[in-house]
Amino acid sequence: MDETVLCARCGATVPQARMKEVMFEEGRARVTRRLCPSCLDQVMQDADQVRGIVGDEKAAAIHISPPPQ
């Protein structure tokens, strides 16, 4: 059975393979959030700047600025 994770934004359970990583800066610390695809779309729409980076758990992630609300 596939492993599942909870979306840090909406709390939905998604398969590990569909989980997305979002990173941003809070003060001097880099924060990583694991999101479902729907929340990723919303966070990207709300961000002023989005760029692709290497993820901690995934091969690709996004870095957003400013941090999500």
Tell me if the pTM is above 0.75: yes
Give me the number of domains the chain comprises: 1
| Domain span including residue 16 | 4-65
Query: Is the model's pLDDT at 69 over the cut of 90?
Result: no
35-44 tens-digit pLDDT:
999 999 999 9
Q: What's the mean pLDDT in 30-36?
A: 95
Q: What's the mean pLDDT in 2-29?
A: 94
Please tell me the predicted confidence (pLDDT) of residue 25. Answer: 94
Q: Residue 18: CB partners within 8 Å, gap ≥ 6?
A: 36, 37
Query: Is the model's pLDDT at 63 over the cut of 90?
Result: yes
Please tell me the predicted confidence (pLDDT) of residue 13. Answer: 96
For residue 43, which of 5, 9, 6, 4 has the smallest C-alpha distance? 9
For residue 34, which of 18, 53, 19, 56 has the smallest C-alpha distance? 19
